[in-house]
Structure 1
Amino acid sequence: MARNEVTQAITWGFIGLGQMGYPMALKLRENMPKSHKLLISDVNDQVLSRFIRAVQDAAGHAERGSVDVQIAENPREVAEKSTVIITCLPTPQIVKDVFDGIFIDGILPSLQHQRLFIDSSTIDPPTSRAIAQLVRTVLGGAFVDAPISGGVVGARAGTLSIMFGASTQLPSLIERVTSILSLIGQKICHVGEQGTGVAAKLANNYILAVNNIATAEAMSMGRQWGIDPRVLTEIINSSTGRCWPSEVNNPVPGVIEGSPASRGYEAGGTVGVIQKDLRLAMAGADDAGVTLMLADKANEVYTAVEKVYSGKDFSVVYKWMQDQTSEKPEVI
């Protein structure tokens, strides 16, 4: 981070403590200067209370009094009091709603440093650019899109890959954003102008959505052919079929210890979220005149899976495939 922000006491803001935001905010509190304050906001009061307890427990009983984490009344308060504001929200509409709530009262009180809004949500580029324009003109702050990749496991470990979009004409902003994101992620990549971060994320998640189905199909084939899923996974992960759904988020229960599949498909990234990203990629590709050959079929599959396993990790597509060959779906 820029030296002046390290040496000067500032307030950080984090809005959205969901599946990804919660561990990201914990990692931020762990790595940010201990003398700084963290202001948090979420629609779920229980999550907010749980977060504060988790931070206190991590600090240890002797240091609990020195842990400065506070709950904001709403996103506007976060924006008013914070120099750096990170948002991690599930859908473009929720991102719009949150920023509408910040914009409603107009210009924000002056702070020692320019406010920086970092949106780590996965949304469409037009929405991201529109919000960025309003942040600049209405709030007088800087806005970058910085979607994340690596799942809940990566968020907890601080190993996320983060791609961000920011003006190439502002090298100091790029340096500032890179140093901040390094507190919660491992690989930080400046993609290009504002809006290119979310565009890169959608391209990546299009591959993820398709690879997840392909991996589930391959593991299903192996199962029917009598191949031990662990053996098949070892072969795939040392061969050309290796991918994140095979290596980290393998869809077969028991193959990868601690994976969602091995925990009853407890959600890391839900079916609904991957389908949302797929549809955003489809819309963006259509707008750019790019034909996606596999998108419609993948969307059809996720629509069917969502009807049966809503809220489960998207690797549950493998379980759904098994259901298609049996008379009655198993309860998970």
Structure 2
Amino acid sequence: MKSNTRLWSQLQRAAHARGFSTTSRRLDNYTFIGLGQMGYQMARNLQAKLSPSDTVRLFDINKAAMQKLAEEMKTQQAGGAAVQLSQTAEEASKDADTVITCLPEPQHVKSAYESILRGVGAPKDTSSRLFIDCSTIDPSSSREVAGAVSSALPDAKGHFVDAPMSGGVVGATAGTLTFMLGAPESLVSRIEPILLRMGKRVLHCGPQGTGLSAKLANNYLLAINNIATAEAMNLGIRWGLDPKVLAGVINVSTGKCWPSEVNNPVPGVVETAPSSRDYKGGFGIGLMRKDLRLAMLAAQEADAKLALADRAKEVYEEAEKEEQCKGRDFSVVYRWLGGKE
């Protein structure tokens, strides 16, 4: 009897670790819309970790990206959901149980959901449709889309949640993203296993919209820390300090932060940082500029004072205009400052 109990406990733990249920399940239809650098990798990981009896429908305005991803999914090793390509967001979402979107700007999210909601009716069974938006947009735009979903699918037949992520393209590829979830507590247990197929951590921040608020607050701090780190490193090096020695001091002192310890802006200090490969890869300066703008917009709506925001915005805008900085990791502001490389 004890042996049977131990075996059942082991089976339960194994099933939980794989993200599967030990009870019977119906087939699930997923839709993934937005196959940019992040979405492409996220969709690939999602499909690979779903059951072969499930279906993933893909849509992006870039037809070549859709076709390429579908071919990769079909040629990978055993397992993974069936893959279908769609011509519109409406077509892709029509019969989906779960729709995941990952789009660049608020206007793209609004436009996509206008199309989605034209074709999505109430589910035929007692379940509800789930819409997970992983885009980084302003919270007010996200709440606007959530309202549209509730109006189109009343009586809790549709739920729109925000789940922006952190970890960049490297994290998306490796499946190690952290998701900041804004959703009702009652939905977390349903959403979390889906997100964990594309990442390794889900942080529930509160009701719809709070995931984006947390993401933008974090990225505002990151934007400021990055400039300050670049300035401090440049200052110390011009005083004659060895950059690795200076970084070592900072990283065991009160100035320690992610831009100094992991993403140091001085080439050669951290070999794995973008600065050590001509600032290529990483989190693009244009994306940081966008997130900073969204944080400032959200701060205005909340009547929150950001004393350093305007100057930081100018720094990223001015740096991005320079050919030697454009398109590179946001730590390239060190180069814009005239830092020694």
Q: Same fold (TM over 0.5)?
A: yes
State the distance in 1 between where 2:24 and 2:327 align.
Answer: 40
2:166 to 149, 168, 172: 149
Q: Secondary structure at the match of 2:203?
A: strand
* 2:123 aligned with 1:110: yes
Moved more, 303-312 or 26-35: 26-35
Q: Secondary structure at the match of 2:35?
A: coil
State the distance in 2 between where 1:72 and 1:6 align.
Answer: 29
1:33 to 44, 51, 54: 51
Specify whether residues 94 and 243 from structure 1 end up closer, same or farther in structure 2 by C-alpha distance, changes over 3 A only: same
Q: TM-score when scaled to structure 2?
A: 0.84
Specify whether residues 159 and 135 from structure 1 end up closer, same or farther in structure 2 by C-alpha distance, changes over 3 A only: same
Mapped contact 2:94–2:120 kept (Cα < 8 A): no
Q: Secondary structure at the match of 2:37?
A: coil
Q: Secondary structure at the match of 2:69?
A: helix
**How much has 1:69 moved relative to structure 2?**
2.1
1:15 to 33, 37, 59: 33
Specify whether residues 138 and 26 from structure 1 end up closer, same or farther in structure 2 by C-alpha distance, changes over 3 A only: same
Matching residue of 2:205: 191
2:336 to 320, 325, 328: 320
Matching residue of 2:62: 44
Mapped contact 1:83–1:114 kept (Cα < 8 A): yes
Q: TM-score when scaled to structure 1?
A: 0.86
Q: Secondary structure at the match of 1:118?
A: strand
State the distance in 2 between where 1:257 and 1:71 align.
Answer: 40
Mapped contact 1:80–1:109 kept (Cα < 8 A): no
**How much has 1:148 moved relative to structure 2?**
0.8
**How much has 1:304 moved relative to structure 2?**
0.3
The C-alpha deviation readout for 1:210-266, integer Å capped at 9, x for no partner, is 111112112222332333333333333333322222233222233333433233322
The alignment-based identity, stated in percent, is 48
State the distance in 1 between where 2:275 and 2:158 align.
Answer: 42
Matching residue of 1:53: 71
* 2:321 aligned with 1:307: yes
Matching residue of 1:260: 274
Mapped contact 2:59–2:86 kept (Cα < 8 A): yes
2:136 to 122, 137, 140: 122
State the distance in 2 between where 1:165 and 1:44 align.
Answer: 29
Matching residue of 2:181: 164
RMSD, aligned CA: 2.5
Matching residue of 1:250: 264
State the distance in 2 between where 1:33 and 1:259 align.
Answer: 36
Mapped contact 1:56–1:67 kept (Cα < 8 A): no
**How much has 1:5 moved relative to structure 2?**
9.9
Mapped contact 1:144–1:165 kept (Cα < 8 A): yes
Q: Secondary structure at the match of 1:81?
A: coil
Moved more, 227-236 or 3-12: 3-12
1:96 to 100, 110, 115: 110
State the distance in 2 between where 1:220 and 1:154 align.
Answer: 29
The C-alpha deviation readout for 1:264-298, integer Å capped at 9, x for no partner, is 32243222211111111112112212111111110
**How much has 1:99 moved relative to structure 2?**
1.3
Specify whether residues 238 and 8 from structure 1 end up closer, same or farther in structure 2 by C-alpha distance, changes over 3 A only: farther
Mapped contact 1:83–1:111 kept (Cα < 8 A): no
State the distance in 1 between where 2:202 and 2:62 align.
Answer: 30
Between structure 1 and structure 2, the one with the greater Rg is 2
Read off the aligned partner of 1:164 and give its amino acid letter: L
